[in-house]
């Protein structure tokens, strides 16, 4: 979650240099920098489960999976965010070691304090990424997964997944049971 905006606007360069040495992560939103709050056990477990499953899938391919500490830059929105899990298969993302610009998949694990922002302003910014094919929201308090998928017309369609279903991510040709995502977190109903 984002908290405490700074008093003055800073440049992209100053932000990126500051992130290299800062003991805490910050997101950059149109010249303002916001400190990131740490996640709960459930948040970290769910994000870790997803990352492990996806990392195993993309290992040895042209795709790369990242968790928590890799920024995505959205130039048109003038932001840098830290997605919980991100996958890029675009060769242009190999040229920058501190942020990616061309992800095909972004996953955010929701908490009560981040849910509105992740569904609203952050998703509006993410939709400006031309390469983004899927945006997935995973609740940490109940078994609920929503996948927003860009269709061939460029419109976003919602796909929801119940506890006994299989999550399908077309952007990376991935599937797993919902129970694998919530392993060690919540009882499936």
pLDDT tens string 49-66: 999 999 999 999 999 999
pLDDT at 4: 46
- Residue 56, classed as helix, strand or coil, is helix
Q: How confident is the model at residue 3 (pLDDT cuts 50, 70, 90)?
A: very low
- Angstrom distance (rounded) from CA 188 to CA 177: 11
Strand partners for 87:
65, 105
pLDDT at 93: 96
Q: How confident is the model at residue 101 (pLDDT cuts 50, 70, 90)?
A: very high
Positive/negative CA dihedral, 165, 151, 131, 33: negative
Instruction: State what percent of residues in the chain have pLDDT above 90.
Output: 83
- Angstrom distance (rounded) from CA 114 to CA 50: 19
Higher pLDDT: 92 or 113? It is: 92
Do the beta carbons of residue 150 and residue 134 sit within 8 Å? Answer: yes
Strand partners for 32:
29
Which helix (H) or strand (E) segment holds residue 147: the answer is: strand 145-150
Positive/negative CA dihedral, 63, 43, 177, 118: negative
Q: What is the mean pLDDT of residues 21-45?
A: 91
Tell me the average pLDDT of the chain: 92
Distances (CA, A) of 114 to 109, 118, 119, 189: 9, 6, 9, 25
Tokens found for residue 71: 């920024």
- Angstrom distance (rounded) from CA 61 to CA 145: 26
Q: What is the mean pLDDT of residues 81-106?
A: 95
Distances (CA, A) of 118 to 83, 106, 150, 184: 10, 11, 17, 24
Residue entry with tokens 């797993």: 176
Strand partners for 156:
150
pTM for the full predicted model = 0.92
Q: Is the pLDDT of residue 5 over 90?
A: no
pLDDT at 176: 97
Q: What is the mean pLDDT of residues 129-139?
A: 98
Q: Is the pLDDT of residue 7 over 70?
A: no
- Angstrom distance (rounded) from CA 177 to CA 74: 31
pLDDT at 187: 62
Q: Is the pLDDT of residue 103 over 60?
A: yes
């Amino acid at each position: 979650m984002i908290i405490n905006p700074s008093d003055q606007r800073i440049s992209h360069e100053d932000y990126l240099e500051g992130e290299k040495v800062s003991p805490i992560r910050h997101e950059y939103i149109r010249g303002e920098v916001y400190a990131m709050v740490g996640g709960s056990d459930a948040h970290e477990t769910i994000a870790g489960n997803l990352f492990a499953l996806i990392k195993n899938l993309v290992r040895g391919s042209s795709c790369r999976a990242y968790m928590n500490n890799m920024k995505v830059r959205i130039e048109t929105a003038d932001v840098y965010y830290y997605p919980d899990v991100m996958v890029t298969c675009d060769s242009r993302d190999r040229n920058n070691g501190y942020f990616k610009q061309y992800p095909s998949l972004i996953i955010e694990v929701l908490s009560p304090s981040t849910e509105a922002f992740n569904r609203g302003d952050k998703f509006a910014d993410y939709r400006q990424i031309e390469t983004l094919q899927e945006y997935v929201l995973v609740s940490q308090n109940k078994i609920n997964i929503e996948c927003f998928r860009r269709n061939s017309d460029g419109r976003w369609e919602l796909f929801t997944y119940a506890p006994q279903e299989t999550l399908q991510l077309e952007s990376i040709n991935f599937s797993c049971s919902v129970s694998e995502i919530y392993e060690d977190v919540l009882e499936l109903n």
